[in-house]
């Protein structure tokens, strides 16, 4: 078995970018060329590395086993090429997922830090809910993500970074008292991200400690928009303090302590355990540094 470098390269970029078309675009060749290279690779291996799933491709069991090994080859080749060309820089595309709170508080500084360290690296940022970002890592649509309370799939490596402070927030017109108890919110609209988002789990767990369920629920996929709805006086929510702090300081809404224990919002960097090369470790360290400078997180206390 003697697969060629261009066959491995085609395989690597299909895994990274999700399609033959995108791999071809990145490598600046025609899609049939990429398909032919994969055909030859599968002939060398004696088994398929991809299978069709709807309109897309997913890795076979053999492909899953091959992916991290090919990734290490391509990464090492990139280092050799950079050393030969004198640049000493990582090249290619890095796809990073972040939550909306991270994006608001840290993304400009984070992008600047990465661009300063890796001037020729192409960055692609995805801003979404933690649950969706975790799924995107599992689906290989992202390389690394910063998320709250991941479910912890065994395919993932989780790097704990700290705790994101939370507060119950409500317009003054609701006349809610602090500390807040679930019984105070009977008949009050509760605005939350939909299941299985961490916000949903935290709110429902909080109510269930008192043997209650929220009587009126409004689901909204964007935490930033949830904060806007709370500010507009349309309901209450459990929010990252950073998202609602300016409205609290302006006296538009009240930040309320909780009478019952809240499940903490623990921030993690996550990536597929087989894909954690030196570049991933370095961009996680940069993200942690930027979050510390922005005071986004409290230290984790076990």
Instruction: Domain ranges for the chain, please list them.
Output: 5-85, 92-163+265-294, 164-256
**Whole-angstrom Cα distance, residue 104 to residue 107?**
6
Mean pLDDT taken over the chain: 90
User: Residues 267-271: what's their mean pLDDT?
Assistant: 96
User: Beta partners for 217?
Assistant: 190
User: Which residues, including other chains, have CB under 8 Å from residue 143's CB and lie 6 or more apart?
Assistant: 16, 94, 95, 96, 137, 271, 275, 280
Q: What is the DSSP letter of 236?
A: B
If phi > 0 it is left, if psi is from -120 to 50 it is alpha, else beta; for residue 240 that is beta
Same topology, domains 5-85 and 92-163+265-294? Answer is: no
Give the Cα-Cα-Cα angle 160, 247, 296 (nearest 5 degrees).
Answer: 20
3-state DSSP assignment of residue 59 = strand
pLDDT tier for residue 90 given thresholds of 50, 70 and 90: low
CATH class of this structure's domain 164-256: alpha beta
Q: What is the dotted CATH code of the domain comprising 92-163+265-294?
A: 3.40.190.10
**Whole-angstrom Cα distance, residue 163 to residue 198?**
13
3-state DSSP assignment of residue 191 = strand
Tens of pLDDT, residues 212-226: 999 899 999 999 999
pLDDT tier for residue 85 given thresholds of 50, 70 and 90: low
Token digits of residue 25: 């675009």
* 32 pLDDT more than 70: yes
**Whole-angstrom Cα distance, residue 298 to residue 147?**
15
User: Residues 196-209: what's their mean pLDDT?
Assistant: 94
Q: What is the DSSP letter of 260?
A: S
**Whole-angstrom Cα distance, residue 222 to residue 215?**
21
**In this structure, which CATH number among 1.10.10.10, 3.90.1150.10, 3.30.70.100, 3.30.750.24 belongs to the domain 5-85?**
1.10.10.10
The pLDDT of residue 287 is: 97
The pLDDT of residue 300 is: 64
The pLDDT of residue 16 is: 81
């Amino acid at each position: 078995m003697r697969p060629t470098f261009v066959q491995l390269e085609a395989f690597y970029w299909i895994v990274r970018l999700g399609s033959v078309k995108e791999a071809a675009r990145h490598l600046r060749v025609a899609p049939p060329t990429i398909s032919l290279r994969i055909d030859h690779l599968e002939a060398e291996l004696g088994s398929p590395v991809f299978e069709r799933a709807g309109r897309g491709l997913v890795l076979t069991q053999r492909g899953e086993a091959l992916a991290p090994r090919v990734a290490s080859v391509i990464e090492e080749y990139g280092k050799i090429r950079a050393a030969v060309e004198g640049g000493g820089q990582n090249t290619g595309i890095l796809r990073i997922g972040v939550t909306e709170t991270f994006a608001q508080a840290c993304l400009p500084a984070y992008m600047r830090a990465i661009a300063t360290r890796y001037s020729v690296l192409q960055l692609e940022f995805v801003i979404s809910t933690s649950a969706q970002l975790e799924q995107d890592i599992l689906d290989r649509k992202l390389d690394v993500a910063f998320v709250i309370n991941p479910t912890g799939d065994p395919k993932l490596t989780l790097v704990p970074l700290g705790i994101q402070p939370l507060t119950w927030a409500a317009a003054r017109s609701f006349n809610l008292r602090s500390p807040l108890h679930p019984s105070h919110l009977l008949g009050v609209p509760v605005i939350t991200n939909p299941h299985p988002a961490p916000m949903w789990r935290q709110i429902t767990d909080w109510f269930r400690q008192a043997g209650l369920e929220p009587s009126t629920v409004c689901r909204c996929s964007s935490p930033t928009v949830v904060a806007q709805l709370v500010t507009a006086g349309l309901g209450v929510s459990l929010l990252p303090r950073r998202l609602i702090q300016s409205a609290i300081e302006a006296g538009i809404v009240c930040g309320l302590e909780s009478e019952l224990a809240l499940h903490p919002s623990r921030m993690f960097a996550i990536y597929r355990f087989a894909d954690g090369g030196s570049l991933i470790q370095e961009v996680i360290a940069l993200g942690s540094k930027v979050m510390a400078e922005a005071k986004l997180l409290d230290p984790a206390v076990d």
